[in-house]
Structure 1
Amino acid sequence: MKNINILPSNVANKIAAGEVVERPASIVKELVENSIDGQSSVIEVFIENGGKDKIEVVDNGVGIKSEDVHLAFKRHATSKIENEKDLESIISLGFRGEALPSIAAVSKVEVLTKTSDDELGVRYKIDGGIDEHLNSAPANKGTRFVVQDLFFNTPARKKFLKTTATELGYITDLMGRFVLCNPDISFKLYHNNRRLIASTGNGSLKQAISDVLGTSAAENALKVDNQSSKIDIQGYVVKPSITKSNRSGQFIFINNRIVRSKLLSKALEDGYKTLLPQNRYPLAVLKINLPPEGIDVNVHPSKQEVKFDNERIVYQSLKAAVDSSLLEKPLVTEYKYTNVSKNLQKEKTNPETSKQPSNKELNTFTSKPKNVNNTEKQLSYLEKLTQDLQIHEEAPKEAPTSKPMKEDTPSQKSDQLISRSSLPQKAEAKQQEIINPFFTTLQILGQFSETYVICKDSDNLYLIDQHAAQEKIFYEKAINQLGNQVAIQGIIPESIKLNGAQIQIVDENADTLKKLGFDLEIMDGNNILVRGLPFFVNKSISIQLLIDSLEDIFLDDELNSLKKFKEAILALISCKGAIKANHKLSHKEMTSLLEQLSLISNPYSCPHGRPTVVSLDKKSIEKMFKRVK
């Protein structure tokens, strides 16, 4: 065994930096928190190449005293605490005295700072933990940090950095959290000289929610105000009609500190229990204030993990606050319909779709029916069955009358992305090669629960999931064009406002989006002009929702090939745009659905692997009725 040695300070600092500086966003977090602790009212962040090349943070805070600048880069040097007792009541964001020496150990740093008492500022340079020089320089009150060439002296760390878009995504998310946590501070974020975030700093949390999560979230935000002697919870929860596929819309702050806590997420989501569909997550911005002695933030150098003295009280208080806000006003979902023939007509509420489907689905295949011996119960059972099962007579052989099919199709979701009219019509279907003739032999009996098309042949009953089936039709039709430019349908140009991360995604993936059928142009002020959409996308969609849906896919590092990338996008759009459950179909629409299934190569499962059709053979039915053993 080798002798035990004390590591040189430069080596020790590089090792310690691994705990504090994980990626560019880690540096932004530490520097911005220093600016907040320094009583800044305006904080500007300038990023180049996702922060891998340059990070610059400028504030108008109190600045650093000239005699303290050099000391600030010494390990465990801090102005936030003085003794062990201070650890029990930490109110500042920083306190460990590790951030600046850790950053300086793995990058090239320049700081320019000035206090109101000094005539001149101080400029200090340090490269890789080695002092360069310190001198006086003209400066405005406040501090400017410039961090360049991150991990230039630790190539093993540098190679693990992600793409520019991914690293920028972390920074943008972080800055959004700062905006929400500190609505009284004006934040600006620039990437490669393009402004991505600009908050007003007017103190309005509702305005901050609009800036970060969008106007729809702000308009549907419900105020939370729960105060007690032990805990104070303020903020907003968003109505359950607006959700996300992940927890990226959850912002919970403890004593003005950005934290991540499974306990807090669980309390929030339990407050929404029974109000959200499976695998959907609520949006919320909540600020929790606790006595400093009741929370331990000294768990990890990142200071994002926290421990509570009394987890039960924190959990129960947060859940109760969410419950109270959600129950204060009726959470009636607005049902809207889209007029396909008028792309820009505003959505109107359709009162006929306001009836929710029953939570108790009728199981007509139960092997042990409950007591239905008396006539009244049998009639009630049959009445319920006929309400839920639409029986259709055979379609007329002649051409239909001049009465057109309604174009104003009611929809319980505003995210119908894919146009039903984009499917092959009957005449078109006949001209295409039938790959699976099985579907052309089925006789349509009706629709169950406005979700499943019921069919039969000579020996079997079939249930076809209308959503999964149409999802697969759209997907296969689009996937067949993967090698080519997806056809673009022109629309009336529409301007959409995006957030900074979305603008960056559109900019960096412009060619891919073009190949996928999106005709987009980036305008000033984080706006894009939409001139065209893929052929299979409904012209009357919420384009904002479409971009929101694409965001997670573009940031998925596991999609490492263009083909996988396109397939993931097409699967997502197909799923969101297909006919929804609880959607009534005419006999003509059901017939068209079966014809289209016959034209695709694998109509038996959706892109996510769920079955599109299930069967029940005659023998199984006879066993249910005890006709055979």
Structure 2
Amino acid sequence: MGNIQTMSTSLANQIAAGEVVVRPASCVKELLENSLDAGAKQITVTLREGGIAQIIVQDDGAGMDEEDAQIAFFRHATSKLFHERDLVRIHTLGFRGEALASIAAVSRVTLTTRERGCEYGVCVRVEGGEMSPVEHVGATFGTRIEVADLFYNTPARLKYLRTVQTEQAKSVETVQKAALSRPDVAFTCQTEHHVLFQTPGNGDVRAVLAALYGVGEAKQLLAIEEATPDYRVTGFIGRPTQGRNSKAQAHLFVNGRPVRNVAVHQAVVQGYKNRLMIGKQPVYSIAIAMDPSLVDVNVHPHKAEVRFSEEADVCRCVARAVAKALDGTLLAPTPEGRRPREVSEAQPFALDFRPRQADEGTGRDKMRASGSGPRLAYPSGARPQTATARELDMAYGRPPSGEVGAEALVTGGQGAPSNAPDDRALPEEPYAEARKQNWQLRPIGQALGMYVLADDGESLYIIDQHAAHERILFEEFYKRLSGRQVHAMPLLAPMQLTLTPSVYTRVTEEIDRLSQLGLTIDPFGGYDVVVRTVPDVWEGLDVHALVEETIARIPSAGASTDDFFQTMHDVIATRACKAAVKANWYLSQEELEALCHALTEADDPFHCPHGRPIFLQWTGKQLEKEFKRIV
């Protein structure tokens, strides 16, 4: 007798289940996909002992007749694919026909379903892959699937499950992702004791985020939208101050499918530029819609990852959407536990729009370093008066700042979902330019040798003097580099470096662009190079370390010029940090004036190059509440 035999159906199903069913959350995911593909508008998920003892998924979808209810448990049984050409245009969440067969191979499954128009429902029971006779039962329209005693017949896999709390958390996270991907479906997730969360199913993504993470958290999120002929990016992103230590609140959906994609996540981070604090991950829920032929969803056993045919185009679209939302929003942080002042994403900074006086000096141009530390010159010229945010709010027909109720979050203020940006008439000036021309900070004094107190006639600001000066210097250095205004500084003794073959190839391919940065590098035989000049903005720093860091950050061949110069970000940030004023450096009134004036002209006055906040803002209304002047 030969050594090669055909596996039994039961054994083959158990092996296949190892790819599809890893833990209770895997079952929840597959069952939810089936419910959504069946057109369900209400789905209830019940978990007992984290889903290990029992998972119940009940929906109001299309249901099945008696024949389909039995065939559904056969391996590779599917109603989604019929021809090979269907694989390149997959519209549904499930399509392989492995879910029910794999789940039934390692658990006890009871399926109760009823088609619309049918007088009775059918019940199918499968235990360890063995199907019992079909029963006719009373049932509501839709489908109810109960998965009990997961891995009861495979104890080796059962012992590798984590604690009940961990498995429940994973299952709940799966339901949350499904709810975010389909805000038009009402989800209820519960245990045998209480309801964990519910979503309204009204199509409002922000309402789902409020149900999952709280109204306060969801209210701060910024709407994003960007479209090209091939892609449409929509969703919500968190403010930089909402950054987390993990990616737990980073959600990506492609054609309604929850997926992971490292390149898209990096594109989101790139869109934040340097606003995120180092070590923090952005909060977002982003949906990408595209032609199904442009994405391959069949590259991962759990369908958790996708492959784009033009990944670079997708990433650029995502980065633009994120950057546009952040660039057009007031990102001033407020003291701990207080919500930022409400400013619409689409509206400019809420101050008046009168031009700056022609003879007014530029504060950042007057900031110079001398002696042991930077000395700041006083900017001359009168400062324009400002209107209050309340006056501008009323002029634009929106509720006064800070008076938007929690109910407006879910209803959009009109009792209907509100995902789209505000399309009301706005001033023609871009947000950043309007802010630069009209935001005026008046320094009050210095506190603790580290903070500058200032106001703008409407709010009180506590400014970190080091972070503020660091941002001002960073933008000066970066604009000089990106504008090719940097000068080469010759080294007294050329620096010789030995590189690896791959790094040597990248360096030699980018010699011309490196020279535009003031970095002159010549080959010196083998894999050695000689560095003859460095950028003049590096004067006084550890040039050797900066050269090595720059070379290590050179992108691979084919990178755009913008990507290439972006690699200098950390190097420039280091230079700015070294040159900026430090703690316990007491500034004169003139220096405080120059610092505040230059900060108002910065492209991003809210975050230092490392992502830390530059100032805290207390609105007049918040102060009045704290001093009990208003109720």
Return the TM-score normalized by structure 1.
Answer: 0.55
| Partner SS state of residue 216, structure 2 | helix
Distance 1:382 1:44 in 2: 63
Q: Match for 2:373 among 375, 381, 385? A: 381
CA contact (8 A) 1:110 1:147 kept: yes
Per-residue CA shift, 1:568-594, capped at 9, x if unaligned?
xxxxxxxxxxxxxx9999xxxxxxxxx
Alignment partner of 1:175 is 2:175: yes
Equivalence for 2:55: 55
Alignment partner of 1:236 is 2:236: yes
Superposition map of 1:136-147 within 5 A? 136-147=136-147
Per-residue CA shift, 1:343-402, capped at 9, x if unaligned?
xxx7899xxxxxxxxxxxxxxxxxxxxxxxxxx964583757xxxxxxxxxxxxxxxxxx
Distance 2:214 2:238 in 1: 12
| Partner SS state of residue 91, structure 1 | coil
Per-residue CA shift, 1:551-573, capped at 9, x if unaligned?
xxxxxxxxxxxxxxxxxxxxxxx
In the TM superposition, residue 269 of structure 1 has moved relative to its aligned partner by 1.2
CA contact (8 A) 2:258 2:304 kept: yes
Equivalence for 2:263: 263
| Partner SS state of residue 247, structure 1 | coil
In the TM superposition, residue 325 of structure 1 has moved relative to its aligned partner by 1.1
Equivalence for 1:313: 313
In the TM superposition, residue 273 of structure 1 has moved relative to its aligned partner by 2.5
Superposition map of 1:367-378 within 5 A? 378=370
| AA matched with 1:141 | F
Paired-residue identity, %: 36
Equivalence for 1:71: 71
Decide whether aligned partners of structure 1 residues 142 and 5 sit closer, same or farther in structure 2, where only a CA change above 3 A counts.
same
Distance 1:66 1:300 in 2: 32
Decide whether aligned partners of structure 1 residues 3 and 32 sit closer, same or farther in structure 2, where only a CA change above 3 A counts.
same
Decide whether aligned partners of structure 1 residues 255 and 2 sit closer, same or farther in structure 2, where only a CA change above 3 A counts.
same
Decide whether aligned partners of structure 1 residues 583 and 116 sit closer, same or farther in structure 2, where only a CA change above 3 A counts.
farther
Decide whether aligned partners of structure 1 residues 79 and 447 sit closer, same or farther in structure 2, where only a CA change above 3 A counts.
same
| AA matched with 1:187 | F
Distance 1:35 1:382 in 2: 65
| Partner SS state of residue 248, structure 1 | coil
| AA matched with 2:373 | Y
Distance 1:169 1:29 in 2: 13
Equivalence for 2:287: 287
Per-residue CA shift, 1:245-279, capped at 9, x if unaligned?
10111111000001011112111111112001111
In the TM superposition, residue 193 of structure 1 has moved relative to its aligned partner by 2.5
Equivalenced residues, count: 363
Distance 2:113 2:32 in 1: 15
Decide whether aligned partners of structure 1 residues 333 and 8 sit closer, same or farther in structure 2, where only a CA change above 3 A counts.
same
Equivalence for 2:219: 219
| AA matched with 1:315 | C
In the TM superposition, residue 191 of structure 1 has moved relative to its aligned partner by 1.3
| AA matched with 1:287 | A
CA contact (8 A) 1:51 1:168 kept: yes
Per-residue CA shift, 1:224-263, capped at 9, x if unaligned?
1112211011111111121111011111100000101111
Distance 1:378 1:300 in 2: 59
Distance 2:60 2:46 in 1: 15
Distance 2:270 2:184 in 1: 30
Decide whether aligned partners of structure 1 residues 289 and 348 sit closer, same or farther in structure 2, where only a CA change above 3 A counts.
closer
In the TM superposition, residue 214 of structure 1 has moved relative to its aligned partner by 2.0
| Partner SS state of residue 122, structure 2 | strand
In the TM superposition, residue 71 of structure 1 has moved relative to its aligned partner by 0.5
In the TM superposition, residue 217 of structure 1 has moved relative to its aligned partner by 2.5
Distance 1:274 1:162 in 2: 38
CA contact (8 A) 1:126 1:133 kept: no
Distance 1:348 1:102 in 2: 49
Decide whether aligned partners of structure 1 residues 30 and 383 sit closer, same or farther in structure 2, where only a CA change above 3 A counts.
same
Equivalence for 1:458: none
Structure 1 gap ranges (5+): 339-345, 350-375, 385-445, 451-581, 586-629
Equivalence for 2:190: 190
Distance 2:339 2:270 in 1: 32
Equivalence for 1:251: 251
| Partner SS state of residue 325, structure 2 | helix
Decide whether aligned partners of structure 1 residues 378 and 187 sit closer, same or farther in structure 2, where only a CA change above 3 A counts.
closer
Return the TM-score normalized by structure 2.
Answer: 0.55
Distance 2:271 2:24 in 1: 35
Distance 1:93 1:163 in 2: 29
Equivalence for 1:6: 6
Per-residue CA shift, 1:508-559, capped at 9, x if unaligned?
xxxxxxxxxxxxxxxxxxxxxxxxxxxxxxxxxxxxxxxxxxxxxxxxxxxx
Equivalence for 2:122: 122
Equivalence for 1:343: none
Per-residue CA shift, 1:443-490, capped at 9, x if unaligned?
xxx98757xxxxxxxxxxxxxxxxxxxxxxxxxxxxxxxxxxxxxxxx
Distance 1:264 1:156 in 2: 37
Equivalence for 1:46: 46
Distance 1:379 1:97 in 2: 74
| AA matched with 1:214 | G
| Partner SS state of residue 333, structure 2 | coil
In the TM superposition, residue 312 of structure 1 has moved relative to its aligned partner by 0.8
Equivalence for 1:208: 208
| AA matched with 1:250 | A
Structure 2 gap ranges (5+): 342-367, 377-446, 452-581, 586-631
In the TM superposition, residue 117 of structure 1 has moved relative to its aligned partner by 2.8
CA contact (8 A) 1:224 1:233 kept: yes
Equivalence for 1:148: 148
CA contact (8 A) 2:44 2:187 kept: yes
Decide whether aligned partners of structure 1 residues 275 and 382 sit closer, same or farther in structure 2, where only a CA change above 3 A counts.
closer
CA contact (8 A) 2:37 2:92 kept: yes
Equivalence for 2:93: 93
| Partner SS state of residue 180, structure 1 | helix
